[in-house]
Structure 1
Amino acid sequence: MESTLLEEVLACPSLPSLPAVAVRVIELTADRNVSLKELADTIQNDQGLSSKVLRTVNSSYYGLRTRCSSINKALVMLGLGPVKALTLGFSLVASQEIDPRGSLDLVAYWRRGLYTAVASKSIAEAARMSFGDEAFLAGLLQDIGVMAMHQALGSKYDEVLRAAGGDHGKLVRLELESLDMQHPEVGAMLAERWRLPNELVMPVRFHERPTAAPVDCADIVRCVALGNIAHDVLTDADPGAALKRLYAKTDQWFKITPSVLDDTLRVVAQATKELSSLFKLQTGAACDIDAVLNTANERLSEIRPPLSTTSTSEDGLANLLAHDANVDPLTGAMARSAFDTSIRWAFGVCKTQGGPIGLVQVSIDCLDAAHARGGHELGDQVLVGVASLLHKHFIPLGGVVCRLNGGLFSIVLQGVTNTAILRSVSEFRADLERGWPRWKTQTGQTLEGMSASVGIACRDPQDPAGLGSPSELIIAAARAIQKCREESQAGVRTSMAA
């Protein structure tokens, strides 16, 4: 890092600075035995700040049943964390009020900050972490280095911003190439100057490279990094790739399922809309979360699934499955030939490396009824919709999603436990039952009801009498589907081969 230029940034007199009340709140809350009365008195000394905090506390975002009339009462009803987060949050926003001239897009800046803040908090809560309020603040604070470099370096930094063209990943690379410094490090230094606690400094420093964070703060850094991806999902014109990344990372780091994540994103979209008004921040038009998720899940069908092992044979399979001839042009799922290759490969890996094999077969039993009611247009809507959901729930497991014929899909899973497979099947079933009413023709024709059968068969390598060949696994899954069809109940039925 170029020390002269860094010193120029840190010595700039127009750098963002925290109001005195925020500095005092940081000092007080550093003491675990802080007096809540002294803290309340400190906040209430700034009437403008106090009114903003109370207005937010009484909003639907917190959902209090009884109206809160004072900071002291807010501390009792909500606790220290939320009140501290709001006090510092409003102070951070006030500290970054600048002349809008230059190449810094303030709407995009605050859109990223607020979406990330709300998403970081919501993901932390979904993962049952106790630092949701700190994650909110860290998300709001993460790009303070961008503001500092913009203020201190003027046209030098404006050139970098223009070259990045709004691409945040590109911005970090260009900062290093052009200035030999990056905004996360500058922001962390500024946060340390403000004497912010380590749980806020570390996410600022590592939000662009969360895997490099120290172990003791890895979880909050990861929440902020995921909040950034959630921002991309909710604001990108083509959110499919970002949603795929978010599904994979939330599952890998916190075991959050796709359905739980979808619900979390709905909360984030609504809360960000409300908080942008309360914080008086321009963040652009509010997103239509259901439209975003529908678009993203449709795009997931076009993204090749990763495979679940790292053997050299995987590379050969990946290359084989990359040919267009192995892709169903309607749904983006793999075709029959790719299914045959995948299941043979899975058994080959099982013999040499061990591990279970799973096969999930999904039969869309209402496909003929869809064609009769709305022609091929409605039938295609159903097939594409089902394929999107299958990709959503099984790509994170490394599944290979294939369309065998008509309304029959198969998913080959190698190295995935029965528990994980059953969990994803359950999530897929819930999504399918909730989502099918959205499929319709241009003239409004819809399904009268969803009817589907899901058969599951698994090979346990520890069971010598178990399913020992691809054909035996396929037959077992087909029998499970037949068992589903013999049930009289409507809807989506599932059965696991004995």
Structure 2
Amino acid sequence: MALKIEDLVDTWAASPPIMYYQLKEALNNPNSAFDDFAKIISADPALTSRLLKIVNSAFYGLSSQVETISHALNIIGTSQLVDLALASAVTSKFRGIPRDLVNMEMFWMHSVATGIMAKKIGEYKKMEGADRFYLGGMLHDVGSLVLFKELPEKSKRVLERCKKENMSLSLLEDETFGMDHAEVGGKVLSGWNLPERIVAVVRYHHNPMASQKFFIEASIIQLADHMVHELNIGNSGEFKIPELASNAEKLINVPEDAMAQIKEAVMENLDQTVRMFL
């Protein structure tokens, strides 16, 4: 008997990336020192190399070379490095999705671009903790990956209909699975004990006003996602550009000249950042 979608989601929610779980425990321990975080990350040489490349990239624009995880922690802090470690671990966790279902390089290109765009919008709006918008943007479609991984044949039919009939991916997912990728992603990240704000922006990025507490943050992710689709960067499987809530756009209210600069910054950082995560 096939598992119900709720059971599949619960299984993923109960299995966060091990590295993130260890880092989260250290983050919640008031006695943890930088060396504790460095030891956890350094146990994975591939992750260590990837994180150092990211920290030394134009994405952070640091004036001096960062050569160790301890040095990186001193400069960007534990929370940001834990976010980067999670984003990196997620890309590894979802390897092996068939290319005829989705091109994962294009998927992550869309996700990374949305993360950069959201971060830049958050900085422009002077939002507190704007760096965390990067993680929310990068993970906004993580629910799609769960569906691709667990239900590839049904997902393929959904994507084919989405393209052929120019229909909303979320509506087709609701019709097929009983929940869309935003709800799946929100439930999984909640199970991984991610911060409430990250869970909310993923869960409500197609319907920001449904989030009573984080509707501004969710609106920023929705706007970033919409702009990345308009720029035709990557492909998350969504062939119809997601509708942008008019009240969300008015709420964020980024002038055209400022948005043009943000788009330019996204394009400048994109290729290098994508290569570092893949």
Q: Tell me if both proteins adopt one fold, taking TM over 0.5 as the criterion.
A: yes
Work out the CA distance in 2 between the residues paired with 1:167 and 1:134: 35
Work out the CA distance in 2 between the residues paired with 1:143 and 1:224: 11
Match for residue 90 of structure 2? 92
Work out the CA distance in 2 between the residues paired with 1:209 and 1:166: 24
> Which segment drifts farther, 52-61 or 159-168?
159-168
Work out the CA distance in 1 between the residues paired with 2:247 and 2:166: 19
Rate the CA distance shift 1:271–1:250 in 2: closer, same or farther, 3 A. farther
Work out the CA distance in 2 between the residues paired with 1:75 and 1:147: 30
Match for residue 202 of structure 1? 200
Match for residue 117 of structure 1? 115
Which of residues 221, 226, 234 is equivalent to 1:224?
221
Can you give the 5+ residue segments of structure 1 that lack an aligned partner in the other structure?
237-241, 281-498
Match for residue 7 of structure 1? 6
Are 1:20 and 2:24 matched, yes or no?
no
Give TM-score scaled by structure 2 length.
0.85
Instruction: Tell me the CA shift for residue 208 of structure 1.
Output: 0.9
Match for residue 236 of structure 2? none
Give TM-score scaled by structure 1 length.
0.49
Contact 1:116 1:227 in 2 (8 A): yes
What is the one-letter code of the residue matched to 1:82? Answer: Q
Match for residue 187 of structure 1? 185
Identity of aligned residues (%): 24
Rate the CA distance shift 1:200–1:167 in 2: closer, same or farther, 3 A. farther
SS class of match (1:72): helix
Instruction: Tell me the CA shift for residue 154 of structure 1.
Output: 2.7
Instruction: Tell me the CA shift for residue 124 of structure 1.
Output: 0.6
Work out the CA distance in 2 between the residues paired with 1:225 and 1:48: 32
Bigger Rg, which one: 1
Are 1:214 and 2:212 matched, yes or no?
yes
Rate the CA distance shift 1:267–1:208 in 2: closer, same or farther, 3 A. same
Instruction: Tell me the CA shift for residue 249 of structure 1.
Output: 6.8
Work out the CA distance in 2 between the residues paired with 1:279 and 1:208: 25
Instruction: Tell me the CA shift for residue 206 of structure 1.
Output: 0.4
What is the one-letter code of the residue matched to 1:191? Answer: L
> Which segment drifts farther, 250-259 or 219-228?
250-259
Which of residues 43, 46, 70 is equivalent to 1:48?
46
Match for residue 261 of structure 1? 259
Are 1:235 and 2:221 matched, yes or no?
no
Instruction: Tell me the CA shift for residue 180 of structure 1.
Output: 1.9
What is the one-letter code of the residue matched to 1:224? Answer: I
1:276-291 alignment, distance < 5 Å = 276-280=274-278
Contact 1:138 1:204 in 2 (8 A): yes
Contact 1:188 1:201 in 2 (8 A): yes
Q: Which has the higher strand share?
A: 1
Rate the CA distance shift 1:166–1:149 in 2: closer, same or farther, 3 A. farther
1:147-186 alignment, distance < 5 Å = 147-165=145-163, 170-186=168-184
Work out the CA distance in 2 between the residues paired with 1:188 and 1:97: 20
Q: Deviations over 1:418-476 (max 9, x none)?
A: xxxxxxxxxxxxxxxxxxxxxxxxxxxxxxxxxxxxxxxxxxxxxxxxxxxxxxxxxxx
Instruction: Tell me the CA shift for residue 174 of structure 1.
Output: 0.7
Contact 1:8 1:152 in 2 (8 A): no
Work out the CA distance in 1 between the residues paired with 2:225 and 2:77: 27
Instruction: Tell me the CA shift for residue 169 of structure 1.
Output: 6.4
SS class of match (1:67): coil
Work out the CA distance in 1 between the residues paired with 2:250 and 2:10: 41
User: Whose RCO is larger (CA < 8 A, sep 6+)?
Assistant: 2
SS class of match (2:65): coil
Contact 2:5 2:177 in 1 (8 A): no
Instruction: Tell me the CA shift for residue 159 of structure 1.
Output: 1.0
Match for residue 61 of structure 1? 59
Instruction: Tell me the CA shift for residue 143 of structure 1.
Output: 1.2
Can you give the 5+ residue segments of structure 2 that lack an aligned partner in the other structure?
234-239
Rate the CA distance shift 1:127–1:58 in 2: closer, same or farther, 3 A. same
Rate the CA distance shift 1:249–1:271 in 2: closer, same or farther, 3 A. farther
Rate the CA distance shift 1:104–1:262 in 2: closer, same or farther, 3 A. same
Q: Which has the higher helix share?
A: 2
How big is the alpha-carbon RMSD for the aligned residues of Structure 1 and Structure 2?
Answer: 2.9
Contact 2:205 2:218 in 1 (8 A): yes
Work out the CA distance in 1 between the residues paired with 2:91 and 2:167: 23
Work out the CA distance in 2 between the residues paired with 1:32 and 1:230: 40
Contact 1:160 1:171 in 2 (8 A): yes
Rate the CA distance shift 1:199–1:34 in 2: closer, same or farther, 3 A. farther
Q: Deviations over 1:139-185 (max 9, x none)?
A: 11111111111222231222112111299961101111222221111
Match for residue 345 of structure 1? none
Work out the CA distance in 2 between the residues paired with 1:32 and 1:263: 40
Work out the CA distance in 2 between the residues paired with 1:251 and 1:167: 27
Q: Deviations over 1:51-94 (max 9, x none)?
A: 11111111222121111111111111222343222211111111
Contact 1:17 1:95 in 2 (8 A): no
SS class of match (2:131): helix
